[in-house]
């Protein structure tokens, strides 16, 4: 892409740190050099965040993307005007959950209509979203449903290593029965195709086991033998460079040493605990398989520090940079 991509940045939960990190990130020359950013959110809330941060940016309130002005110290806000003045900051609420989901819906509409080149999302709160009547597990499921995408995956990019999750927001006791040969193969293939597209070369993929020591030949569990290994063999037959199952307590060090381009983790915390330990505020959540680029921060709404000016924009900056890179 010769011109800078237009990135639609959803504001996130207005009671959380989303508005603050949006203002900080869009005031960064690092962002403005590589992208044309537009916040999809509430203009009054962004103005309030600027006041708290003593940020001198001018807010350009727009109703359509074509009216955006891309200059330093101008923050474009596509205004949905949907945050009530009575909203309490730092608290879960139905109103905030409704507003946050509406930003995502609008961003999807714009991406589908080619008005923006990519979506980057600030954090939403699942409890608030559920209070508002939206029973999604998170952003990923909203995006998949609204784009009718069947084969998608939650992938995390960081300077330390990359991770794709086979299962996402599930109770730990449900993970084993949610795994299947087909699901694991699907994620291996999705990771392979995504990395080949963005890195322009065949990736090396490592697959984590589910159990301690990857089951130790069935002593500590049979999933590796019955489910994971067959998925890996199927992928190998399709020419994918993949190894495993590898003991979960070893595979991330191997990836950090560049022996693998990406790790396929069986469940949420298996992949995200090592990732956040190695690269907190530097990792980016990517939804692979969508018809457009979507990236996100690696943190939550931070109600405990919201609206005090403390929030760190590093993850949002990294997410916008990743979105711009993946648009090329």
pLDDT of residue 67: 97
What's the domain count of the chain?
A: 2
The range of the structural domain enclosing residue 261 comes to 151-289
For 199-207, what is the mean pLDDT? 92
Peptide bond just before 245 cis, omega within 30 deg: yes
78 and 58 share a domain?
yes
Q: Are residues 13 and 140 in the same domain?
A: yes
Q: Are residues 165 and 141 in the same domain?
A: no
Which pLDDT does position 200 carry in this prediction?
Answer: 82
Distance CA 183, CA 285 (A): 20
Query: What is the pLDDT, as a whole number, of residue 2?
Result: 46
Say yes or no: 252 and 312 in one domain. no
**5 lies in the same domain as 144:** yes
43-90 pLDDT tens trace:
999 999 999 999 999 999 999 999 999 998 999 999 999 999 999 999
- pLDDT value of residue 201: 85
pLDDT digits (tens, 9 = 90+) for 143-181: 999 999 999 999 999 999 999 999 998 999 999 999 999
Report the pLDDT averaged over residues 295-304: 93
Q: Is the pTM of this model over 0.85?
A: yes
Same domain for 307 and 275: no
In whole angstroms, what is the distance from residue 98 CA to residue 51 CA? 24
237 and 109 belong to one structural domain: no
CATH code, domain with 234: 3.40.718.10
């Amino acid at each position: 892409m010769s011109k800078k991509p237009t990135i639609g940045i959803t504001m996130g939960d207005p009671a959380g740190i989303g508005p603050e990190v949006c203002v900080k990130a869009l005031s960064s020359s690092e962002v403005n050099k590589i992208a044309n950013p537009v916040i999809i959110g509430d203009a009054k809330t962004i103005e309030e965040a600027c006041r708290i941060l003593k940020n001198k940016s001018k807010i350009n309130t727009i109703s359509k993307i074509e009216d955006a002005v891309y200059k330093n110290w101008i923050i474009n806000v596509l205004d949905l005007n949907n945050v009530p003045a009575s909203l309490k900051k730092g608290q879960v609420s139905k109103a905030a959950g409704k507003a946050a989901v509406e930003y995502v819906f609008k961003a999807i509409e714009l991406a589908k209509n080619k008005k923006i080149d990519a979506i980057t999302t600030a954090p939403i709160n699942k409890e608030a979203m559920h209070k508002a009547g939206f029973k999604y597990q998170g952003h990923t499921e909203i995006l998949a449903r609204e784009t009718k995408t069947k084969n998608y995956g939650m992938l995390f990019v960081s300077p330390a290593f990359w991770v794709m999750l086979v299962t996402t927001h599930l109770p730990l006791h449900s993970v084993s029965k949610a795994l299947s040969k087909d699901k694991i193969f699907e994620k291996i293939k999705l990771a392979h195709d995504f990395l080949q597209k963005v890195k322009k070369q065949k990736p090396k993929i490592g697959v984590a086991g589910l159990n301690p020591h990857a089951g130790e030949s069935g002593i500590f569990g049979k999933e590796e033998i019955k489910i994971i290994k067959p998925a890996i063999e199927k992928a190998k037959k399709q020419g994918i460079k993949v190894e495993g199952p590898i003991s979960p307590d070893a595979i991330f060090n191997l990836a950090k040493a560049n022996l693998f381009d990406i790790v396929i983790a069986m469940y949420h915390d298996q992949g995200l605990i090592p990732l956040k330990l190695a690269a907190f505020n530097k990792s980016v959540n990517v939804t692979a398989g969508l018809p457009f680029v979507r990236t996100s921060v690696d943190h939550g709404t931070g109600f405990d520090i919201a609206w005090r000016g403390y929030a760190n924009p590093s993850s949002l900056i990294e997410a916008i940079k990743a979105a711009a890179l993946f648009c090329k």
